[in-house]
Structure 1
């Protein structure tokens, strides 16, 4: 039987060893996935708010992800991605027609556009294979109405975190710990349901 992979796809400043990606990756590993962290290398400074730099960052991240994705990436795999990683993960799935599952932490506006294209190409039933987490104080994607309405339009599971920034963190550590547990509980159920493993 082919091994299922969990691709851990970081953001520009949010690395694979930070809490959301690290612990969700551990959950996937415990569910039987082979954990495959993706690296992007260094991005140029000042990407946020600069459309040209964002475009270059997207191209860099997309190319790096494609270099590290195996040729046999399949619908049994899962992408656990953050920020710009959400956009390039969906783009890779779209272009290669992988049909994988996706956990999207703090997607960008561009992510939601690619998500629509993915569902148009692969079918609306794919919405059940995708979940979105968005912080209501996300400085990289401040248009909460856009994120929530497009997630609703796409029919994907959508979770908001009150007062949370682009790292899904607030100014209160204890609140963050509680939020992290709630997020991981959702992710564990999502991963368990789709791995066929009930030992989490």
Structure 2
């Protein structure tokens, strides 16, 4: 049995492209799907370490409530797919509860770096929420594959629809390869 848990961002829910398509891929490889959702966030958290910490703690508490009845040790493979602040939540939850999950981190925030492990990372070089060099350095130190997309923002979009579609295809091909590798 396999389980994939999806940890969205604050404004990037599970029906947006990165999480929507990766969820379909995971389901196609036989993963049972669980989605975490959050509510009650301030809008003005970017740039404020205090507000970001508060948002993280709020999101982690809500994730714990959603996942409290999941018996993780029933599953031979657990995959956490996360976006933005969800990357910090997924990593912290994994560390706190000793899940030993595999991870797909989409556009992690810098606060995620201490808890990121055992996975792959996707990041845009024009992400206003996280400095590309800090993310790339952190991934190198942790030996995490980091796929960077030139001029892509926090949604891994560039503003050019054709480029965005090419990037999305590349991201989903790499995502599928990672997921497929977990099923062997």
Structure 2: 5+ residue runs without aligned partners? none
1:15 and 1:52 map into 2 onto residues whose CA distance is: 23
Please say if 1:138 is aligned against 2:127.
yes
1:10 and 1:104 map into 2 onto residues whose CA distance is: 10
Provide the aligned length of Structure 1 versus Structure 2.
181
1:188 and 1:42 map into 2 onto residues whose CA distance is: 33
In the alignment, what sits opposite 2:172?
184
Paired residue secondary structure (1:77): strand
Q: What is the CA distance between 1:56 and its match in structure 2?
A: 1.0
Q: What is the CA distance between 1:9 and its match in structure 2?
A: 0.8
Structure 1: 5+ residue runs without aligned partners? 120-128
Counterparts of 1:26-175 in structure 2 under 5 Å? 26-69=24-67, 70-74=69-73, 76-115=77-116, 129-141=118-130, 143-175=131-163
Q: Pick which of 72-81 and 11-20 moved more.
A: 72-81
TM-score, L = length of structure 2: 0.94
1:195 and 1:60 map into 2 onto residues whose CA distance is: 33
Moved over 3 A (4+): none
In the alignment, what sits opposite 2:11?
13
Q: What is the CA distance between 1:49 and its match in structure 2?
A: 1.0
Q: Deviations over 1:123-180 (max 9, x none)?
A: xxxxxx4000010000000x22111011011011110000000000001001000000
1:182 and 1:7 map into 2 onto residues whose CA distance is: 22
Q: Pick which of 100-109 and 38-47 moved more.
A: 38-47
Paired residue secondary structure (1:67): helix
2:14 and 2:129 map into 1 onto residues whose CA distance is: 19
Paired residue secondary structure (2:72): coil
